[in-house]
Amino acid sequence: MFGESMGSRLQLDEEKLWAFIHEFHAAARADDKLGPLLAASVSDRHAQLLAMFDLWSYLLLGTARYKRNPVPVHARLTIELAHFDRWLALLKSAADSQLPADAAEKAKLRASRMIPGHAKLMREIA
């Protein structure tokens, strides 16, 4: 409908989005592959959570909060294909657990589409 954001068409609000972000972030920090990367590269967890919220708010709710480019930050890390695979698996699990079905499907689709381009850009910067 005219005047509605993308998120208003989904059964999603910011509270549910925060639950998704927190579950995904906690799972990534506890993961044997992703946890060490996060521990070594993230000095301010609160700022990281806010950036993640802004990104997913943009992707799922259609807000204009996210104004960063995540590629240069991630290009400094030693990220391998297995990391992307694990990231996607954890994200899908958190989406299924915390988001309404329509929002979970959109989150999983958006995440799946991010990986090839993100990986390509990181190789070009490195």
Among the ranges given (14-28, 43-57, 62-76), the one the predictor scored with the smallest mean pLDDT: 62-76
User: How far are the Cα atoms of 36, 67, 84, 119 from residue 110, in angstroms, in the given order?
Assistant: 25, 17, 14, 15
* Mean pLDDT across 55-74: 84
Mean pLDDT for the stretch of residues 19-45: 93
pTM of the model: 0.82
Q: Which residue has the higher pLDDT, 105 or 9?
A: 105
Predicted local confidence at residue 119, as pLDDT? 61
Domains and CATH numbers, the chain: 15-125 (1.10.490.10)
Mean pLDDT of 1-26: 77
